[in-house]
């Protein structure tokens, strides 16, 4: 049984390196949560509450879309589900193999050749050596890189690196799949095949959690949605209702 | 201090270390790749490190042997074995500082046993050591340094240093991730330690009153469990006692700290 049960999950980011510049960067990069100061004098530190008391339950067949502004906590929530950040308070129970597919192929090294990177990334994505060997022909066929796979990845074009990363990442068999804005995948001709492959991956996934700003993507892939605002869960429900609420909450100032 | 009160999660720390060890396929692979990668498109490859130590020894031996009133025939093996052992032990500490900061993209994207990164650093340095040891082999053959069964004690010596190095990479890796002043500080410290540890000079040359500098210097004992066998002698029981004790205490302390702060590592990066 694959499931995710989150109860009152809260995440605080202490901000290290007090310089104004790095503080500002960190805030923009990570969260739009509430900022507070703790302690006094030299002990004082800045803490950002990135997620504030989130509770929800996901089960087999749930395809959850995360909706919210920049810094609402979508990516942080994905990282919490991936096990990167452990909640400061509250509890999170996850059953099943979690596969986070964020930006790039994990462990990808530009100096290694394509084959070496397939193995390294595969291992980091949680595949066993046998699994990787079994899937190698499929990955090789899909990325269509041919003899380039014998060359160092730094000689690839950006599109080719994206193809390779995509081919590796989508070869996994996850119980729970975490996606941030979908995965980029090269030129137009490739995009169509990529979409088919992505759909197949989601088909064999039990639970999907997808963070995106694209209404179309959320509508196309999800059957439930969560609206996040400043780290709090505002609403959870059917995709159309939640998207509706999201757009109504945009004040004129925010639209401009 | 609020930090002291952080609750320890021993189960997670233990699981991390065990899973990390079991993932030897990943860290042996990454360690090799790293060595290969560093020297790609070079002629001598990993032997560049070896060559530079060799050149250093070749240049210095003629200054230092007379300076320390030593005969080149006995000083040269001593210096080569000592320097190669020193390079291994200190690399574990200085490179250990960068363990987690170098793994930032993995740590902030995936949930995996972080100790994989530590074992990778240790493994990589063992590989490099076996390149550097060529210098000692050449010197030993050229000067006919006696080789006996005691030479085989080098292997437990390597193991002891590696086990110590492993906890050091965890501890210094964490400290360096949180406090960015640690790596330059450790780098400086190692430079000073290099001169107050008997690598260039013999411990026996130090007067009776100054022997403390050697006796309580853990680096000396770490070097000694490797250097003595390379010179065909057995390390003293004291060196074994100190290094084994250091391994036990080091791991206990590191384990406790790791259990308390492992979960904070991604926040620090």
Mean pLDDT value across chain B = 88
Query: Which 3 state secondary structure label does DSSP give A162?
Result: helix
pLDDT computed for residue B92 by the predictor: 94
Q: Residue B218: CB partners within 8 Å, gap ≥ 6?
A: B242, B243, B246
Of B25, B110, B267, the CB nearest to A106: B110
Lowest average pLDDT, out of A188-202, A204-218, B148-162, goes to A188-202
β-pairing, A98-101 vs A89-95, is unpaired
| Separation between Cα atoms, residue A212 and residue A77, nearest integer Å | 13
Cβ(A138)–Cβ(A132) under 8 Å? no
Q: Chain A: residue nearest B103 by CA?
A: A107
Query: Inter-chain contact B109–A98, Cβ cutoff 8 Å?
Result: no
């390294």: which residue's tokens? A120
Question: What strand order describes the sheet that includes A63-67?
Answer: A98-101, A176-180, A207-211, A63-67, A224-229, A232-237
- Cα distances from B97 to residues B168, B180, B251, in angstroms, run 9, 10, 16
Position with higher pLDDT, B5 vs B30:
B30
With beta carbons under 8 A apart, name residues in chain B contacting A106. Answer: 105-106, 109-110
pLDDT digits (tens, 9 = 90+) for A35-48: 766 665 555 667 88
Q: How confident is the model at residue A249 (pLDDT cuts 50, 70, 90)?
A: confident
- In eight-state DSSP terms, residue A42 is G
Q: Do residues A211 and A156 make contact, with C-beta atoms less than 8 angstroms apart?
A: no
When pLDDT is averaged across residues A63-78 and rounded to a whole number, the result is: 87
What string of H, E and C letters represents the secondary structure of chain B? CCHHHCCCCHHHHHHHHHHHHHCHHHHHHHHHHHHHHHCCCCCCCCHHHHHHHHHHHHHHHHHHHHHCCCCHHHHHHHHHHHHHHHHHHHHHHHHHCCHHHHCHHHHCCCCCCCHHHHHHHHHHHHHHHHHHHHHHHHHHHHCCCCCCHHHHHHHHHHHHHHHHHHHHHHHHHHHHHHCCCHHHHHHHHHHHHHHHCCCCCCHHHCCHHHHHHHHCCHHHHHHHHHHHHHCCCCCCHHHHHHHHHHHHHHHHHHHHHHHHHHHHHHHHC
Cβ separation B107–A111 shorter than 8 A? no
Distance between CA atoms of residues A185 and A211, nearest Å: 17
Asked whether the beta carbons of A180 and A102 are under 8 A apart, the reply is: yes
C-alpha span between B225 and B88 (Å, rounded): 12
pLDDT of res. B72: 84
Cα dihedral across residues B161, B48, B34, B130: positive or negative: negative
Closest by alpha carbon to A54, among A209, A215, A227?
Answer: A227
| B229-248 pLDDT per residue, tens | 999 999 999 999 999 999 99
Per-residue pLDDT band at A21 (split at 50, 70, 90)? very low
pLDDT, tens digit, for every residue of A71-110? 888 888 999 998 888 887 888 898 888 888 876 677 888 8
Residue A152 is classified by DSSP as B
- Chain A: give the shortest CA distance to residue B38, in Å: 9
Give A254→chain B minimum CA distance, Å.
Answer: 30
For chain B, say whether A116 makes contact (Cβ under 8 Å): yes
* HSE-up (13 A, CA, CB side) for residue A19: 3
pLDDT in tens, A105-153: 778 888 888 998 998 888 888 888 888 999 999 999 988 888 899 999 9
* C-alpha–C-alpha distance, residues B67 and B69, integer Å: 5
Cβ–Cβ below 8 Å for A107 and B266: no
Q: Which residues of B touch A (CB under 8 A)?
A: 25-26, 29-30, 33, 37, 40, 105-112, 178, 180, 263, 266-268
Mean local confidence (pLDDT), A187-195: 78
The predicted pLDDT at position A188 comes to 72
Which residues of chain A make contact with B29, given a CB cutoff of 8 A?
Answer: 119-120, 123
% of chain B exceeding 70 in pLDDT: 98
Q: What is the reported pLDDT for B115?
A: 94
| Cα–Cα dist B229/B157, whole Å | 8
CB contact under 8 A, B26 and A124: yes
């Amino acid at each position: 049984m694959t499931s995710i049960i989150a109860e009152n999950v809260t995440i605080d980011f202490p901000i290290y390196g007090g310089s104004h510049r790095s503080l500002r960067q960190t805030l923009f990069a990570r969260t739009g949560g509430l900022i507070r100061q703790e302690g006094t004098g030299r002990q004082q530190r800045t803490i950002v509450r990135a997620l504030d008391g989130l509770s929800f339950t996901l089960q087999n067949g749930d395809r959850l879309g995360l909706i919210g502004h920049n810094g609402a906590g979508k990516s942080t929530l994905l990282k919490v589900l991936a096990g990167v950040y452990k909640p400061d308070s509250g509890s999170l129970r996850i059953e099943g193999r979690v596969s986070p597919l964020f930006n790039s192929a994990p462990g990808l090294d530009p100096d290694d050749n394509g084959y070496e990177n397939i193995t390294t990334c595969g291992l980091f994505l949680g595949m066993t050596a046998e699994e990787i060997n079994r899937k190698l022909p499929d990955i090789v066929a899909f990325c269509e890189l041919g003899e380039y796979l014998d060359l160092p990845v730094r000689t690839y074009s950006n599109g080719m690196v994206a193809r390779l990363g995509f081919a590796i990442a989508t070869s996994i068999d996850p119980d729970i799949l975490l996606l941030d804005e979908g995965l980029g995948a090269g030129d137009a001709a490739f995009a169509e095949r990529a979409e088919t492959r992505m759909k197949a991956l989601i088909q064999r996934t039990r639970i999907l959690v997808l963070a995106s700003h694209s209404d179309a993507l959320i509508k196309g892939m999800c059957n439930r949605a969560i609206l996040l605002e400043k780290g709090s869960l505002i609403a959870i429900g059917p995709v159309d209702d939640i998207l509706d609420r999201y757009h109504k909450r945009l004040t004129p100032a925010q639209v401009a | 201090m609020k930090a002291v009160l952080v609750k320890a999660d021993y189960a997670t720390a233990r699981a991390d270390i065990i899973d990390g060890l079991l993932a030897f396929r990943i860290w042996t692979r990454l360690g090799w790749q790293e060595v290969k990668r560093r020297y790609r498109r070079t002629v001598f490859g990993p032997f560049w490190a070896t060559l530079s130590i060799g050149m250093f020894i070749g240049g210095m031996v003629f200054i230092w042997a007379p300076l320390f009133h030593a005969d080149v025939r006995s000083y040269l093996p001593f210096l080569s074995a000592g320097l190669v052992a020193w390079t291994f032990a200190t690399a574990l500490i200085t490179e250990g500082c960068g363990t987690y900061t170098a793994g930032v993209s993995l740590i902030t994207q995936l949930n995996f046993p972080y100790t994989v990164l530590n074992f990778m650093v240790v493994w990589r340095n063992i590989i490099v050591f076996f390149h550097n040891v060529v210098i000692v082999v050449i010197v030993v053959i050229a000067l006919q340094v006696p080789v006996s069964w005691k030479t085989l004690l080098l292997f437990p010596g390597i193991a002891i240093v590696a086990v110590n190095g492993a906890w050091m990479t965890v501890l210094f890796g964490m400290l360096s991730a949180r406090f960015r002043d640690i790596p330059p500080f450790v780098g400086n410290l190692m430079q000073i330690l290099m001169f107050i540890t008997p690598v260039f000079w013999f411990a026996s040359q130090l007067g009776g009153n100054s022997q403390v500098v050697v006796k309580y210097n853990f680096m000396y004992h770490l070097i000694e469990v490797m250097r003595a066998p390379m010179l065909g002698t057995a390390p003293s029981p004291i060196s074994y006692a100190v290094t084994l004790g250091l391994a036990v205490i080091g791991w206990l302390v590191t384990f406790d700290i790791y259990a308390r702060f492992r979960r904070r590592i991604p926040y620090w990066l």
